[in-house]
């Protein structure tokens, strides 16, 4: 099952500063959409409004036409799995138990973990190549290992919508590719905030680009990641050309030509 995600004119501000301003976006069923922008552009704030940590000052978030702020936490957790930037370093729990937390929305209060729950946890750890970590304490893991375990928890949740805030954070190159290949292969509706423009260009169906809390570009990677747009938003020059192998944009930054 896949679902659609839609935001309409979302706004959030701190004191007099507008952090997110009138952002409307759409993620079609089964689509992988990237949310881009420099540090402080409002990406994480926007995602927190979508997964119900920050209540919007105005606007609406809906999944399959259902307002997430009018629905219960359990119903939302069944529909939407989240990987946030906060890595949960405080967990003094075994990795297997951290991943089991992803099954909570599907369990009755005080119910014991079922064979199905345990199977899905093992499957998620295997998908993230983290089986060897299952008996480790989460707090003893490296940043990259924690990121893989938290992604396994999101997979174990079996939700049709993934909302990911910098999912490749702390991961080395191989694990970045493994994770994004996995997400593409799942075919789930996915919205992911990404820092690495080359990864976004290769993996995402469409992109939304934020600057100072407002959308400045949207479309396919080729439409959004142009030299002029990269220069305007990121303040760096870049060469962009289609890959001879895939046709997707290849980006070469010019680090000695900052604007």
User: Is residue 236 predicted with pLDDT exceeding 70?
Assistant: yes
Give me the mean pLDDT over the 163-187 stretch: 95
Give me the mean pLDDT over the 58-75 stretch: 94
Give me the mean pLDDT over the 242-248 stretch: 96
User: How is residue 73 written in tokens?
Assistant: 């936490």
How many other CB atoms are found less than 10 A from the CB of residue 1? 11
Q: What angle do helix axes 143-156 and 115-127 make, rounded to 10 degrees?
A: 140
User: Is residue 67 predicted with pLDDT exceeding 80?
Assistant: yes
User: Is residue 87 predicted with pLDDT exceeding 70?
Assistant: no
CATH class of the structural domain 5-224: alpha beta
User: How is residue 130 written in tokens?
Assistant: 């983290």
Per-residue pLDDT tens digits for 103-145: 999 887 766 778 999 999 999 999 999 999 999 999 999 999 9
Q: Where are the domains of the chain?
A: 5-224
Q: What pTM was computed for the model?
A: 0.95
User: Which contiguous run of DSSP H or E holds residue 139?
Assistant: none
């Amino acid at each position: 099952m896949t679902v659609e995600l839609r935001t309409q004119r979302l706004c959030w501000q701190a004191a007099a500063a507008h952090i997110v301003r009138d952002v409307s976006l759409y993620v079609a069923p089964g689509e992988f959409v990237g949310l881009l922008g420099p540090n402080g552009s409002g990406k994480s704030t926007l995602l927190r409004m979508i997964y119900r940590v920050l209540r919007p000052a105005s606007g609406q978030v809906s999944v399959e036409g259902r307002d997430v702020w009018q629905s219960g936490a359990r119903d939302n957790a069944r529909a939407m799995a989240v990987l946030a930037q906060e890595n949960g370093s405080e967990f003094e729990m075994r990795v297997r138990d951290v991943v089991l937390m992803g099954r909570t929305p599907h369990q009755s209060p005080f119910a014991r973990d079922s064979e199905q729950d345990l199977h899905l946890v093992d499957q998620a750890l295997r998908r993230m190549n983290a089986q060897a970590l299952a008996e480790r304490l989460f707090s003893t893991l490296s940043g990259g290992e924690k990121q893989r375990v938290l992604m396994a928890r999101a997979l174990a949740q079996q939700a049709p919508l993934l909302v990911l805030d910098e999912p490749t954070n702390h991961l080395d190159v191989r694990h970045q590719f493994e994770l994004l290949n996995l997400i593409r292969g799942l075919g789930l509706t996915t919205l992911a905030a990404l820092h690495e423009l080359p990864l976004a260009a290769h993996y995402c169906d469409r992109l939304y680009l934020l600057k100072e809390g407002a959308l400045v570009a949207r479309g396919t990677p080729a439409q959004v990641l142009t030299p002029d747009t990269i220069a305007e938003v990121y303040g760096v020059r870049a060469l962009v050309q289609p890959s001879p192998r895939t046709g997707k944009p290849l980006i070469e930054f010019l680090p000695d030509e900052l604007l």
